[in-house]
Chains A and B, each alone.
Chain A
Amino acid sequence: MPKDMRRDFADRAELVAYLAAEFPAAAAESAAVSATRGGRRAAEALLTAIQPARYASTRNFLDGAVTRLSAYLRHGVLSLAEVRRAALRAETRPAEAAKLISELAWRDYWQRVYAVIGDGIWEDREPYKTGLEAAAYAQELPADIAAGTTGLACIDAFSRELVDSGYMHNHARMWLAAYVVHWRRVAWQAGARWFLTHLLDGDPASNNLSWQWVASTFSHKPYVFNRENLERYSGGIYCRACPLRLQCPFDKSYEALQAELFPGGAPAATPPRRRQ
Chain B
Amino acid sequence: MSELVRPVVWIHADCLSPQHPALLAYPGAPALFVWDEALLSSLRISLKRIVFLYECLLELPVSIRRGDVAAEVLAFASEQQADGVVTSASPSPRFAAISAQIAAQRPLRVLPVEPFVQIEQRLDLARFARYWRAVEARALNTFPEDTV
Q: Contacts of A113 on B, CB cut-off 8 Å?
A: 125
Instruction: Choose one: B18, B43, B131; the contact of A109 (CB below 8 Å).
Output: B131
Asked, given contacts A5-B64, A114-B92, whether A30 binds B47 with beta carbons under 8 Å apart, the answer is: yes
Asked, given contacts A38-B55, A76-B17, A114-B92, whether A200 binds B49 with beta carbons under 8 Å apart, the answer is: yes
Closest approach, in angstroms, between the C-beta of B64 and any C-beta of chain A?
4
Scoring B40, B45, B127 by chain A CB atoms within 10 A of each residue's CB, the highest score goes to B45
Contact with A along B29-62 (1 / 0, CB 8 A): 0000001000011011111111111111111000
Contact present for A116 and B125 (CB under 8 Å): yes
Contact present for A75 and B14 (CB under 8 Å): yes
Compute the total of residue contacts between A and B using a CB distance below 8 Å. Answer: 192
Contact present for B49 and A166 (CB under 8 Å): yes
Question: Whole-angstrom distance between the alpha carbons of A111 and B117 in the complex?
Answer: 13
Q: Contacts of B65 on A, CB cut-off 8 Å?
A: 3-5
Interfacial residues of chain A within 1-60, with CB under 8 A of chain B in the complex = 1, 3-7, 9, 12, 15-16, 19-20, 22-23, 25-27, 29-34, 36-42
Per the CB 8 Å criterion, the residue count for chain B at the interface is: 56
Segment of B2-10, B101-109, B136-144 engaged in the interface with chain A: B136-144
Contact present for A19 and B50 (CB under 8 Å): yes
A191 contacts partner chain B, Cβ-Cβ < 8 Å: no
Contact present for A15 and B55 (CB under 8 Å): yes
Question: Whole-angstrom distance between the alpha carbons of A112 and B141 in the complex?
Answer: 21
Contact with A along B85-97 (1 / 0, CB 8 A): 0001001110010
Interfacial residues of chain A within 216-230, with CB under 8 A of chain B in the complex = 219
A142 contacts partner chain B, Cβ-Cβ < 8 Å: no
Closest approach, in angstroms, between the C-beta of B16 and any C-beta of chain A?
5
Closest approach, in angstroms, between the C-beta of B76 and any C-beta of chain A?
9
Contact present for A33 and B139 (CB under 8 Å): no
Closest approach, in angstroms, between the C-beta of A202 and any C-beta of chain B?
7
Size category, A interface? 35 or more
Instruction: Choose one: A40, A119, A219; the contact of B17 (CB below 8 Å).
Output: A40
B140, closest chain A residue (CB): A94
Contact present for B47 and A33 (CB under 8 Å): yes
A71, closest chain B residue (CB): B52
B123 contacts partner chain A, Cβ-Cβ < 8 Å: yes
Contact present for B17 and A78 (CB under 8 Å): yes
Question: Whole-angstrom distance between the alpha carbons of A75 and B25 in the complex?
Answer: 20
Contact present for B59 and A41 (CB under 8 Å): yes
